[in-house]
Chain A
Amino acid sequence: MITGALIVVISFAYVGLLFAIAYYGDKRADAGRSIIANPWIYTLSLAVYCTSWTFYGSVGRAATTGIGFLPIYLGPTLMAALWWYVLLKMVRISKAHRITSIADFIASRYGKSHVLGGLVTIIAVLGIVPYIALQLKAISASFSTILQYPESLVPVESEALPFLQDNTFYVAMLLAAFTILFGTRHLDATERHEGLVAAIAFESVVKLVAFIAVGIFVTYGMFDGFDDLFNKAALIPELNALLVQGGASGNYMTWASLTVLSMLAIILLPRQFQVSVVENVNERHLNKAIWLFPLYLFAINIFVLPIALGGMMHFPAGTVDADTFVLTLPLSGDKTWLALLAFVGGLSASTGMVIVEAIALSTMVCNDLVMPILLRLKALRLTERADLSSLLIGIRRAAIVFVLVLGYVYFYLAGEAYALVSIGLISFSAVAQFAPAMLGGLFWKGGTRLGALFGLSAGFLIWLYSLLLPSFAKSGWLPITFLTEGMLGIDLLKPQQLLGMQGMDEISHCLFWSMLANIGLYVSVSLWRRPTAAEHSQANLFVDVLRHVAAGSGSRFWRGSATVADLQTLLGRFIGPERANESFAAYARSQGIDNVEQLTANAVLVHYVESQIAGAIGSASARDMVASVVVEEPLALEEVMTIIDEASQALAYSRQLEQKSRELEAATNELLSANQRLQELDRLKDDFISTVTHELRTPLTSIRAFSEILGDNPNLETTQRAKFLGIITRESERLTRLINQVLDLAKIESGAAEWHPSALDIREVIEDATAALSQVYKERGIELTMECPGGLPVVYADRDRIFQVVLNLLSNAANFCDKPESRVRITVAEEDTALRIEIADNGIGISMSDQNVIFEKFRQVSDAVAGKPKGSGLGLAISREIIQHYQGRLWVESTPGVGSTFAFTLPLPRSKMAFLAA
């Protein structure tokens, strides 16, 4: 027989053990050797998800809906597959911004909004209260069950004992005390509680072991394994029906909505946020938890159905509450110690949940609800108080007591009307309202504060109306007509058949309507208004958190003035002076500065202080507090101009660079072409030398050959001898001419030539030239005509040179005329600024390609018709140099087969009068 005293002793011993673990955990954390810094402990702490709902309630649920208890665990498994995208993001964001609760998270996402944070807190508190009531109910029920067994197997209808005689009240107060001792011993900027997490992980082990022990006892002790158990159950018609989903387990709609609810709950429940995000030591732990946590859920659920079936077969229908099977089955088998183990397991499931939930809620209530209001109340002059840390702790402790009292009150009012799971689902539906603002905020930059506010409010109101109030009505605290006839007797307003919608269970019904309103308003209101600058910048920080690994903190556009001492004092007021000192020292070290005095109060430091304070009082209030010491100067017009100026200078500089680079490119191109030109010239020089050498060698060879003949044959005939001597003489003359021309050209090109300019009558020069060549022309039968108007102005040039040019052109013309009726015509004309002399022939003409090259040295037109060229190939080159020396032009126009026209100009003196006067 178990006495009350034994149970109380065991309970206290267990709680004492938890304390020891927590104390040890904190010690180790202070020593820098964390015992919770591994993925296994992290996973076990996540298992705070499994509360007495799981421990007792699942069996109860299985007893009424068969397999229907499972979606609550399948949902989290599915969500775990998405943790890599969702939870990782939440962890990163929370670490970067020192976010300590889900209210803080949502408020921070939508531009650090007080209103939103407050609303989320209210929803969370009201939503979670039933859940806490559930735990209280479970503890008190298990207590009375184990104490009074076997007398009171049937749940006693609540007779609403005065609370002083109700043990549940004492349980609640005990838990409150325990939570306060655990969670609010001191204030830390990070809000992390290593010892607590260690204790929670231990509790997860205890409840798993206890539950599996009971499961094994039922399956293998009372029955002969799974098949025996199921076979026996199949013989009972009601139980057989339970085993088939779609039978007693309700429809697929319920199944799907429970899955969705639990998916959302696993990330949105305040306690899950606390353990999975806030208490996360290292985001790598998330990896293992992704599969380890579902495995835990899997393990704790294997024996749910066997225990439920065993209980229903063992006890006559209706004599024992299915929620207590976990206790009553061992008791009925006289396994007292197993029953006690189960009791401790249930206790650990409940206490774990209540402690973490109460801490999470108290942080929210303090940071997002109470502090913003207190700081606003100027009458309290809070902003002038030196040390607020004790006040903060006080508020949190009060909040913990407040939450537990609320839980007790709910239990007192409505608790008896529902099974454990149904109460829990009310809470799940409430926190599911955070989903649009939360998930939307994580993945959609367009979500705005107003959208979140409207969506949350609408979803919350619908939840209140269709789930929470009906739960009061069912317990008789509201008239039951509220349920059956709708508010004010209007049918369409029946809370659980809104607008006449039927055929859904209450949870699906609430989920459908609240989500419709919530998501609908969130999206439509967000789209209606553009996000403000603050919302926009937060949205970017949140949505792209995985991209900015080291999210830049301070903006360079921050202008403000504050002293380091001010900031340190401010921080000290919230987390205590010693911790503020440590914090500043740590910051100084991270900046590579030896002591705090050398710190400068720049944007980065201000941001650091803000995030530290955010840990204590929430991001929205932190911003206000920091603003109170930091005189944030709005950017003056001048400064804006400076910034713009800098920007435009940078722009101009970049343009200059661009320009320079373009110039450089052009220079490179020039160099390149110059180089090519040089190479070309080099090649030309080589060509020139080889050509000159060749041209010199031909006459030399000829002279030498004939000289040798004369030398070797002294008896040569006189006529022959005279002929050979004649050749030698001609070749020598040709050689001399060639050398003269080469020297001539070299002189002209190098500018060393001597020029003897004089006033020149061009007609006279041409006549002289024709006279000189008249013999040649006569011999070849070429008709030479000249058109030269009288009274031509004189030009000023070297007579001999011009003569040389005309002679050269005339002899060329003669050389190209080989037809019987050849004509060469010389035309002299006066133009505006120059005299033009044309020498046209009707010879073979020059092809287009040759026209370009004949003025180059040693380039001669040679083709089949012209035969072997007769000149040296230097005549035209020299002529062009001469004409160009006098700023004239020498060119050729020619049509092959018709004839060629060589023309040159000689500029007239600028003023004839001036010249004459000279």
Chain B
Amino acid sequence: MALFLLGCLLFNYPLLSLFTGDTRIWGIPLIYVYLFVAWGVLIGAMALIIEIQDH
């Protein structure tokens, strides 16, 4: 549940607007990197929670 709220926050205005712009990391636009990294982190966190609960 907390992750859902966190995800809503991460993937929406206004946090998203922080990452728009011309900045690049390894030549990739920041917004692209940000979204995928945040996405990956979210999936990782869900996996962690679920697997810990299971064991």
Residues of A whose CB lies within 8 Å of any CB of B are 67, 70-71, 74, 77-82, 85, 226-228, 230-231, 234, 243-247, 252, 255-256, 259, 287-288, 290-292, 294-295, 298, 302, 305
Is the Cβ of A244 less than 8 Å from the Cβ of B29? yes
By a CB distance below 8 angstroms, the chain A residues around B44 are 291
Q: How far is the CB of B10 from chain A (nearest CB, A)?
A: 9
19 contacts between A and B (CB under 8 A): A70-B35, A78-B4, A81-B1, A82-B1, A82-B4, A226-B26, A226-B27, A228-B27, A230-B27, A231-B27, A243-B31, A244-B20, A245-B20, A252-B17, A290-B50, A294-B39, A298-B36, A298-B39, A298-B40
Is the Cβ of A81 less than 8 Å from the Cβ of B46? yes
Given contacts A244-B20, A287-B50, A302-B36, contact A227 B26 (CB under 8 A): yes
Q: Which secondary structure dominates chain A's binding surface?
A: helix
Is the Cβ of B7 less than 8 Å from the Cβ of A226? no
By a CB distance below 8 angstroms, the chain B residues around A302 are 36
Is the Cβ of B50 less than 8 Å from the Cβ of A259? no
Is the Cβ of A294 less than 8 Å from the Cβ of B26? no
By a CB distance below 8 angstroms, the chain B residues around A288 are 50
By a CB distance below 8 angstroms, the chain B residues around A255 are 12-13, 16
Q: How far is the CB of A313 from chain B (nearest CB, A)?
A: 14
By a CB distance below 8 angstroms, the chain B residues around A77 are 7, 39, 42-43
Is the Cβ of B12 less than 8 Å from the Cβ of A81? no
| Cβ 8 A contact of A291, one of B4, B19, B46 | B46
| Cβ 8 A contact of B16, one of A245, A287, A294 | A245
Is the Cβ of B28 less than 8 Å from the Cβ of A227? yes
By a CB distance below 8 angstroms, the chain B residues around A287 are 50, 53-54
Given contacts A243-B29, A244-B21, 19 further A-B contacts (CB under 8 A): A67-B31, A67-B32, A74-B35, A74-B39, A77-B39, A77-B43, A78-B7, A78-B11, A85-B1, A226-B27, A227-B27, A228-B27, A230-B27, A234-B27, A245-B19, A291-B46, A294-B43, A298-B43, A305-B32
What total of A-B pairs shows CB separation below 8 Å?
94
Cα distance, A226 to B24, chains bound together (Å): 12
Q: How far is the CB of A301 from chain B (nearest CB, A)?
A: 8
Is the Cβ of B46 less than 8 Å from the Cβ of A290? yes
* Residue among A74, A226, A246, A288 with most chain B CB within 10 A: A74
Name A246's closest neighbour in chain B (CB-CB): B20
Given contacts A80-B46, A290-B50, contact A243 B7 (CB under 8 A): no
Q: How far is the CB of A917 from chain B (nearest CB, A)?
A: 101
Q: Which secondary structure dominates chain B's binding surface?
A: helix
Q: How far is the CB of B16 from chain A (nearest CB, A)?
A: 6
Is the Cβ of A244 less than 8 Å from the Cβ of B31? yes
Q: How far is the CB of B41 from chain A (nearest CB, A)?
A: 11
By a CB distance below 8 angstroms, the chain B residues around A226 are 26-28
By a CB distance below 8 angstroms, the chain B residues around A259 are 11-12
Cα distance, A298 to B43, chains bound together (Å): 9
Name A228's closest neighbour in chain B (CB-CB): B27
By a CB distance below 8 angstroms, the chain A residues around B29 are 230, 234, 243-244
* Residue among A79, A259, A294, A302 with most chain B CB within 10 A: A294
How many positions in chain B have a CB within 8 Å of any CB in the partner chain?
33
By a CB distance below 8 angstroms, the chain A residues around B40 are 298
By a CB distance below 8 angstroms, the chain A residues around B28 are 226-227, 230
Q: How far is the CB of B43 from chain A (nearest CB, A)?
A: 5
By a CB distance below 8 angstroms, the chain B residues around A292 are 47
| Cβ 8 A contact of B17, one of A67, A70, A71, A246 | A246
* Residue among A85, A231, A246, A291 with most chain B CB within 10 A: A291
Cα distance, A588 to B18, chains bound together (Å): 65
Is the Cβ of B42 less than 8 Å from the Cβ of A294? yes
| Cβ 8 A contact of A243, one of B1, B26, B32 | B32
Given contacts A78-B4, A81-B4, A245-B20, contact A291 B47 (CB under 8 A): yes
Cα distance, A71 to B47, chains bound together (Å): 21
By a CB distance below 8 angstroms, the chain B residues around A244 are 20-22, 29, 31
Name B14's closest neighbour in chain A (CB-CB): A252
Is the Cβ of B27 less than 8 Å from the Cβ of A295? no
* Residue among B20, B43, B44 with most chain A CB within 10 A: B43
By a CB distance below 8 angstroms, the chain B residues around A80 are 46
Name B46's closest neighbour in chain A (CB-CB): A291
Cα distance, A294 to B11, chains bound together (Å): 14
| Cβ 8 A contact of A252, one of B4, B7, B16, B32 | B16
Is the Cβ of A245 less than 8 Å from the Cβ of B31? yes
Q: How far is the CB of A435 from chain B (nearest CB, A)?
A: 16
Cα distance, A244 to B17, chains bound together (Å): 10
Cα distance, A244 to B42, chains bound together (Å): 22
Q: How far is the CB of A291 from chain B (nearest CB, A)?
A: 4
* Residue among A67, A231, A255, A302 with most chain B CB within 10 A: A67
Q: How far is the CB of B35 from chain A (nearest CB, A)?
A: 6
By a CB distance below 8 angstroms, the chain B residues around A252 are 12-13, 16-17
Cα distance, A715 to B54, chains bound together (Å): 113
By a CB distance below 8 angstroms, the chain B residues around A246 are 17, 20
Cα distance, A231 to B29, chains bound together (Å): 9
Is the Cβ of B43 less than 8 Å from the Cβ of A295? yes
By a CB distance below 8 angstroms, the chain A residues around B7 are 74, 77-78, 81
Is the Cβ of A81 less than 8 Å from the Cβ of B16? no
Name A294's closest neighbour in chain B (CB-CB): B43
Given contacts A81-B46, A287-B50, contact A74 B27 (CB under 8 A): no
Cα distance, A539 to B46, chains bound together (Å): 31
Cα distance, A302 to B43, chains bound together (Å): 14
By a CB distance below 8 angstroms, the chain B residues around A256 are 12-13
By a CB distance below 8 angstroms, the chain A residues around B46 are 80-81, 290-291, 294
Q: 8 closest pairs, A vs B, by CB?
A: A227-B27, A291-B47, A252-B13, A81-B4, A291-B46, A243-B29, A81-B3, A78-B7
Cα distance, A52 to B46, chains bound together (Å): 28
Q: How far is the CB of B46 from chain A (nearest CB, A)?
A: 4
Name B54's closest neighbour in chain A (CB-CB): A287
Cα distance, A70 to B11, chains bound together (Å): 10
Name A252's closest neighbour in chain B (CB-CB): B13
By a CB distance below 8 angstroms, the chain A residues around B26 are 226-227
Q: How far is the CB of A781 from chain B (nearest CB, A)?
A: 103
Cα distance, A8 to B7, chains bound together (Å): 44
By a CB distance below 8 angstroms, the chain A residues around B19 are 245
By a CB distance below 8 angstroms, the chain A residues around B21 are 244
Cα distance, A176 to B19, chains bound together (Å): 46
Q: How far is the CB of B13 from chain A (nearest CB, A)?
A: 4
Cα distance, A246 to B20, chains bound together (Å): 7
Name A292's closest neighbour in chain B (CB-CB): B47
By a CB distance below 8 angstroms, the chain A residues around B17 are 246, 252
